[in-house]
């Protein structure tokens, strides 16, 4: 089992459930100093109990002032960051027959702007680690949905595709500073979010398996950490097909009741 080497100062958002919770447990068990952020104070407190290397920093990532205060607290406790693992996010599906702009905004705020608020706050702490002869790392959780347009995923897929594009471009601009960027593209992972899905989820894996894949990718400093690979490689290939073929695939993936209502 691959562990993240060294003794690192880490900020992990979305640490209270799903992938984030599984990653948090592994990092803490490996002895890293981890600032744990999520909205659920009780979940974070339970996770940090009897672990003196955990720092509980409750946070709503969509609130930029709260994010700035959280970063100040982490800076006071850690004196910099070696890894910012920005994992917080949400998923809601859009019914195009009843277009819901409030839903679109919620998803974009959480998945794109919330992550960028944390990035903005984390960069000065990462630069401090770089100045101390380290090579800090930023990792963000996107989604395999960034590779291919999917039914009802207009808001979710767009937020993740925008996040992936932003981080890949930022990677180019940060490399000369000695700051690396990894983008994580999971397939279906069992979590409270995916438990709500009402459609088949091929090759869904458990959060422990996902967490191990993430740690292995971070240790290797992979640019694109995607898993399970049989699923994500197939999705990536489908994503480069001509638009007409992608449309046909999308219609085949749509739920039967959705198709009937549109006919």
CA 125, 141, 197, 194 dihedral sign is: negative
Exactly one of 93, 113, 147, 156 is catalytic; which is it? 156
Could you give the C-alpha distances from 9 to 4, 33, 34, 36, 240, in angstroms and in order?
11, 5, 6, 11, 38
Q: What is the DSSP string of 65-88?
A: HHHHHHHHHHHHHHSS-SEEEE--
Helices (H) and strands (E) in the chain, counts: 10, 7
Q: What angle do CA 66, 28, 35 make, to 5 degrees?
A: 15
Q: Which residues is 13 bridged to in the sheet? A: 37
Question: Tell me, what DSSP letter sits at residue 242?
Answer: -
Q: Which residues is 227 bridged to in the sheet? A: 186
Q: Give yes or no: 93 in active site.
A: no
Q: How many CB atoms lie within 10 A of CB 196?
A: 10
How many angstroms separate the CA atoms of 6 and 231, rounded? 32
* Active-site residue list: 156
């Amino acid at each position: 089992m691959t562990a993240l080497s060294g003794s690192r100062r880490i900020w992990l958002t979305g640490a209270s459930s799903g992938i984030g919770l599984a990653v948090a447990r592994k990092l803490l068990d490996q002895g890293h100093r981890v600032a744990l952020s999520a909205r659920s104070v009780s979940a974070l407190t339970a996770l940090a109990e009897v672990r003196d290397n955990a720092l509980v920093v409750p946070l709503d990532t969509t609130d930029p002032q709260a994010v700035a205060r959280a970063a100040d607290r982490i800076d006071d406790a850690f004196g910099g960051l070696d890894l910012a693992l920005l994992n917080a996010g949400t998923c809601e599906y859009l019914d195009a027959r009843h277009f819901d702009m409030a839903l679109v905004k919620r998803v974009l705020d959480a998945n794109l702007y919330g992550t960028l608020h944390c990035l903005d706050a984390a960069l000065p702490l990462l630069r401090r680690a770089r100045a101390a002869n380290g090579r800090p790392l930023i990792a963000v959780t996107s989604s395999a949905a960034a590779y291919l347009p999917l039914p009802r995923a207009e808001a979710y897929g767009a937020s993740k595709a925008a996040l992936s594009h932003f981080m890949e471009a930022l990677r180019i601009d940060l490399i000369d500073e000695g700051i690396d960027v990894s983008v994580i593209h999971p397939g279906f992972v069992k979590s409270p979010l995916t438990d709500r899905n009402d459609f088949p989820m091929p090759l869904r894996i458990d959060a422990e398996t996902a967490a191990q894949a993430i740690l292995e990718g971070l240790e290797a400093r992979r640019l694109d950490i995607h898993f399970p690979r049989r699923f994500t490689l197939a999705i990536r290939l489908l994503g480069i097909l001509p638009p007409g073929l992608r449309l046909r695939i999308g219609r085949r993936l749509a739920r039967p009741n959705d198709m009937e209502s549109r006919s």
